[in-house]
Amino acid sequence: MSVLEIKNLTFGYKDGPLLYDNFSLNLKKGEVISIVGASGSGKSTLFELINGTQALKSGTIKKSKIAQIYQDPYSSFHPSYKIISQIKEVADIKDIDIFLTKLNLEKELLEKKPHQLSGGQLQRCSILRAILMKPDLILADEPTSALDNIVQLDVMKLLMRFLDRVGILLITHDDDLATWASDKIVKL
């Protein structure tokens, strides 16, 4: 089942070159596709186009229910509220204990504010929130770039445990990570 279908996408910023010219992509549940490219190549713009925060010049984007995991977990949580409150705002938490175990998170961490957690803990909370939203598609924008190599690998392994439920579109600068994690790599 396709969770993301992009057909003949054309997009460029005003007075700039086209970032996408007749670009197509099809992502199915259970797949990981990595978008790899240098800064300014249009990786994050693609997510904005998928989310509808940028308007297409031409082409179509059909998508299923989306959850996003951002590069900087500290900016994806409000600093003044407990993690659990922020998860409850967007997701049903009835299965939270199952996912806490899978993500190696202690329930007590959810009662804390974002600044009280390490980057790795907070990124796992971000993955927890995304999974509890029950998406069909996860957009993961450099989800491991702020983490050390060991934590980076652990976080990606954790995220990939959910491929039976989702398709993942991953933005990364890391060619090795893309090669290891992906069914397909798209270079921009």
What are the beta bridge partners of residue 26? 5
Residues 6+ apart with CB under 8 A from 17: none
Strands 18-28 and 2-12, bridge-based pairing: antiparallel
Cα torsion angle, 155, 66, 162, 108, sign: positive
61-102 pLDDT, tens digit per residue, is 999 999 999 888 888 899 999 999 999 999 999 989 988 988
Range of 62's domain? 2-187
- Residue 61 half-sphere exposure, CB side, CA atoms within 13 Å? 21
Tally the domains of the chain.
1
Rg (CA), the chain: 17
Q: What is the CATH number of the domain that holds 81?
A: 3.40.50.300
Each residue of 132-177: pLDDT tens digit? 999 999 999 988 776 777 777 777 888 888 888 899 999 988 888 8
Rounded to two decimals, the pTM is 0.89
